[in-house]
Structure 1
Amino acid sequence: MTATSLTPTDKLAASGNYEYLNENNDQEFEDKIVEEFTHLLEKSKQLFNGLRDLPQYGHKQWQPYFGRTFDVYTRLWKFQQQHRVLLDKKFGLKRWQIGEIASKIGQLYYHFYIRTSETTYLNEAFAFYSAIRTRAYYSKVNREEKPDLMVKKLRYYARFIVVCLLLKKTKLMRELVRELNRQIDEYVKAYDPDDSLEWQLVLNEISTFIDIDNQLNVDHTPITLYYRLTNSLIPPLPNGAEKFLSNIQLYSLEEILIIGNYQDQIKFSELTLDMYRMLQAVERQPIELTASSEDRTTMQSPANHQKEVPDLYDSDSSKRSNPHKYLLYKPTFSQIYAFTASAFKELPTNGVLLLYISADGYDTHMKIKTAHSYDFGGVKTNNRRDDVNDNLNSPANTLGKKSTSATTTTATTATPIKDIHTIFPGDLYPFLRKPLFLIIDSNNSIVFQNMPNLFGQPLISLLSPVKIPAVFHDYQNKGSLFTLFLTSPAFAFCFVCHLNELTSEQWNLCQENVNKIIFEIIRIFLKSKLVDGTIYHFFGDEFLRIFLARFVFCYAVLRLHRAFKGSGFYPSSQPQLSNDLLENVLVHKMILELSASLNIRQLFLEGPLTTLE
């Protein structure tokens, strides 16, 4: 039968068959979309859960797996964007499920930042966390009457706050804290959960942390302190410096361990204040992104990250990669040794390992001390098995009491026993085979001053004062003074001078003058004929150069301050810096002029000083 001979009834029947076929095709297409989405969702969860099993140290071991995880989440995110209406209709996709996918991607970016130290990924994490909030993906979670969904929402808030904290988005962070407070109240009222006290502790920790880190008021308003490196903060090399340094083997900072082991220091999310300040001081200020996660058509896998070879004379530091770092909150001795060994192994040619330890001190209390390696004590690590006991980790026992088992007696001899949960100078000797830049902030830091240079590699130790004036004792849990000088010297100057209320003009004056003093110290370093040659090996790296200059500034300020009386109140170093640096008349004069301009000249000695009194 030809088409022209079809009756109206035949044509109608044929039309129905086409519609039926089209419906079948549409149904098959929709089923495939749902099936593919379900597959991607399950695969993403499986890979994400596997991330916790990856080694925490080393570079190559985790990157391939991380890359696969990110690629699956990229496909999942794009897929739900393209088919959201259909998935809403056929899969029952809810907004909190979209929020959970975005939250996982934010977590991936954040953890890649933790593993690579590249602040670009912090901005990426912020974009996804911010999209969750602005698009209210979790707004209807409370109606689901599922406590586990409420916990996911609370965890999202906590993670978002950490990212805002690291990106210095203080205003938004305070808003998030208020929102988290309301969400915790709703959670507790609705479910009376067992973890209500834990969430209240989280809220208290972050509120205290923010208040302490923003305790300087300018024009009656708390200001946000910035610790990251910017071009304006980098001490420029004086004329002729490049020619001078060209004859010296220069090293660049490549691997960092930041260890926080002070027992009672204020912390949030496994970051003590000292760790928080130091981790930013070894990063460059990131360039903020403007596109939100929803606006992006592509998401570059962080697994493609390649570290750039640093150009030591490039004036634009923002183009360079950050040195890689590990953050260890109250680690055990075994953890410290494992991570240090990994960083040591990964250290490239001409690379420097920076080991920063902020911890309570430990004294052996031996009557006869001869070996600097172990007899004089060290700094405490964590003993997780004995955390419930206060005989080892209590702050009162760091230097003031003897260990309960100070000696072991045999039939013929009594052998002094050292605390096995302590890092002694001798424990670091194996790592002196490569260049080491050591910063110890502790009340027993002095024991690291005489480490032998066994292998002829460049070694510098910057060591905190072992004493602080009584007037500052109440501030000990609010961050260490030495670390504050190394990370924010202008604020540290204000802090030791009890300046917590300034006008914007005074604060700008303080920052400008401190920068001038830092730059002058760099000039003196390169002009001096008495500086130990080891120091110049580290001078090509801008992070290490600025730490050295801030160390001298710290020494000079405390040396001139009337409240700091005696060598125990001043920082020390190995090798010892020469007097033409530490007791420099011009530097002293500039500090005293700054104090006079801020109307606090009476807090300082008459000077400039020329000899150690």
Structure 2
Amino acid sequence: ADPVMVLNDDNTIVITSNRLSETGAPLLEQGMIVGQLALADALIIGNCNNQVKFSELTIDMFRMLQALEREPMNLASQMNKPGMQESTEKPARRENPHKYLLYKPTFSQLYTFLAASFKELPANSVLLIYLSATGVFPSGRSDSEGPYDFGGVLTNSNRDIINGDALHKRNQSYKEMHCLHPGDLYPFTRKPLFIIVDSSNSVAYKNFTNLFGQPLVCLLSPTAYPKALQDQSQRGSLFTLFLNNPLMAFLFVSGLSSMRRGLWEKCQDYLRKINRDIAQLLTHSRSIDQSFLQFFGDEFLRLLLTRFIFCSATMRMHKIFRETRNYPETYPQLPRDETVENPHLQKHILELASILDVRNVFLENTLDDY
């Protein structure tokens, strides 16, 4: 389902691994003050009817599953560059986060797993919730604007009502039973919570309130994509692809469908440099919300955050992503001028585009366009 093929010299397809490798996440600078939280549990929830599926996994769920896995040690050692001296010490085994994979869960099923994970979460640990699902929008204007008035995401299609009219009438007077609203997650913000929402109504989760003062971050997908990219939704969301394999996503939005392995590896090296610089932008920012830095000590979350910023910066510079709804959002809000619209990062993206000879796809004077 990958939109871009990486080819060897003999035109065989290279199988790329998107698990976390030893050099995957940008290293923390010495003296960098970040939180000591560790990602312990992840709920990966999917309800996208039109996506490619593997058994009970949508392509988005599969990609997020991979993004939260470490590269097995034996495979990682085989992939090391030749000439590197092998260490005689056996590396310490590092755990993968425990994952619950929920395909089309009902509200009660989802809440049961959420509660179980919350209960078992160790001290100084993070619960990650990934939602890839259809958006549910508010049916009418409400007098109040509470955490249940902006809609949410539909985790399970209601199979009881087949008649479209009945469904329509029901929606007029009742809220959708299997819609997960931002307010449904409030009780779980008593512990550190990291939320990723990939949905046409992801912005509902901008209306969050941190009631308990614990670290809380929401990464929110664009709510719409340019028409040229909408036909590709069956092969998975572009936003999740950026979080799983940012170079693959960058090639896709640049209009490339295949490339040679040598160029792929050169671009991956450059992307690692970009990730290191993004990490510095975040940690050196004076106005960033501390929640982001609290999560930055964990390798998985650090990589997701840097990939998110790369994704957002790329979309803001791309010529066909011109509407506000085409851009990812966060809660709390990131300082845009220090992160996703930082001139230093924009220069890096143009340089990566130059390596691929697709610079014409991006705006040169991005800052002048805002």
TM-score normalised to structure 2 length = 0.90
Closer, same or farther: CA 253–499 of 1 in aligned 2, 3 Å:
same
Pair 1:380 & 2:154 matched: yes
Match of 1:110 in 2: none
The SS at the match of 1:255 is: strand
Q: Whole-Å Cα distance in 2 between the matches of residues 518 and 369 of structure 1?
A: 44
Match of 1:348 in 2: 122
In the TM superposition, what is the alpha-carbon distance from 1:221 to its structure 2 partner?
3.3
The SS at the match of 1:259 is: strand
The SS at the match of 2:18 is: coil
Match of 2:326 in 1: 569
Report if the CA contact (8 A) 1:583-1:611 is conserved.
no
Report if the CA contact (8 A) 2:3-2:257 is conserved.
no
In the TM superposition, what is the alpha-carbon distance from 1:319 to its structure 2 partner?
2.1
Query: Match for 2:36: what amino acid?
Result: L
Q: Whole-Å Cα distance in 2 between the matches of residues 572 and 438 of structure 1?
A: 12
CA displacement 1:469-516 (0-9 Å, x = unmatched): 101111111111110001111111011112112122221222111111
Pair 1:540 & 2:305 matched: no
* Pairing of 1:43-442 with structure 2 (within 5 A): 212-213=1-2, 215-219=4-8, 220-241=11-32, 244-245=33-34, 249-288=35-74, 319-368=93-142, 370-383=144-157, 385-386=159-160, 389=162, 391=164, 403-408=168-173, 417-442=174-199
Q: Which of structures 1 and 2 has the bigger CA Rg?
A: 1
Q: Whole-Å Cα distance in 1 between the matches of residues 164 and 251 of structure 2?
A: 37
Match of 1:582 in 2: 340
TM-score normalised to structure 1 length = 0.55
Q: Whole-Å Cα distance in 2 between the matches of residues 230 and 277 of structure 1?
A: 15
4+ residue runs of structure 1 moved beyond 6 angstroms? none
The structure in which a higher percent of residues are strand is 2
Q: Whole-Å Cα distance in 2 between the matches of residues 390 and 563 of structure 1?
A: 39
Instruction: Give the one of 328, 349, 352 matched to 1:591.
Output: 349
In the TM superposition, what is the alpha-carbon distance from 1:373 to its structure 2 partner?
0.9
CA displacement 1:535-589 (0-9 Å, x = unmatched): 1111110101111111100000000000101211010001111121111111100
Q: Whole-Å Cα distance in 2 between the matches of residues 603 and 349 of structure 1?
A: 46
How many residues are paired up?
352
The SS at the match of 1:221 is: coil
CA displacement 1:62-120 (0-9 Å, x = unmatched): xxxxxxxxxxxxxxxxxxxxxxxxxxxxxxxxxxxxxxxxxxxxxxxxxxxxxxxxxxx
The SS at the match of 1:213 is: coil
In the TM superposition, what is the alpha-carbon distance from 1:325 to its structure 2 partner?
0.9
Pair 1:468 & 2:236 matched: no
Query: Match for 1:477: what amino acid?
Result: Q
Match of 1:495 in 2: 252
Closer, same or farther: CA 354–568 of 1 in aligned 2, 3 Å:
same
In the TM superposition, what is the alpha-carbon distance from 1:384 to its structure 2 partner?
5.7
Percent of aligned positions that are identical: 46
| Unmatched runs of 5 consecutive residues or more in structure 2 | 76-89
The SS at the match of 2:132 is: strand
Q: Whole-Å Cα distance in 2 between the matches of residues 519 and 530 of structure 1?
A: 19
